[in-house]
Amino acid sequence: MNTTDNNQYKSIEVDNQTIIMDETQAFRVLHAMMQEFGWAGTMFSEDDVRESIQQRRFADDKEPYTDEQMDEAVAAVMNSGGWNKWMEQWMYEQGWECLNSIIWDEGF
């Protein structure tokens, strides 16, 4: 069994409020806020990492991982220096580049 459990509730502290929700609810709140405020962007979750590893192994004609191997691989990716530095930094930089391209295309 993989370690992903969308029904695991977590306490999130925001200013002086405590919000308790699971990952599914958190995604719904995030998407609702994005729609309400007109925000654009993305984020990646543990499930995204898991799916990407599976797809990569399939594309490379490798045997699928056992649940235990997959859990270890996902943890390794999400605890890596690349995940902690490059994912956010690259998305931030590319987002600005994309925004500036849109502004340029619109003639402003």
Instruction: Take residue 44 and report the two structure tokens written for it.
Output: 């990646």
- 15 and 65 belong to one structural domain: no
pTM: 0.76
pLDDT at position 85? 87
Residue 4, in any domain of the structure: no
The answer on 30 and 83 residing in a single domain is no
Check whether 1 has a pLDDT greater than 60.
no
Indicate if 62 and 81 belong to the same structural domain. yes
Q: What is the pLDDT of residues 51-105, one digit of tens each?
A: 999 999 999 999 999 999 999 999 999 999 999 889 989 999 999 999 999 999 9
Domains in the chain: how many in total?
A: 2
Range of the domain at 27: 9-39
Quote the CA–CA distance of 12 and 20 in Å, as a whole number.
Answer: 6
The answer on 106 and 53 residing in a single domain is: yes
Residue 86 and residue 50: Cα distance in Å, rounded?
A: 18
Tell whether 24 and 75 lie within a shared domain.
no
Are 55 and 84 in the same domain? yes
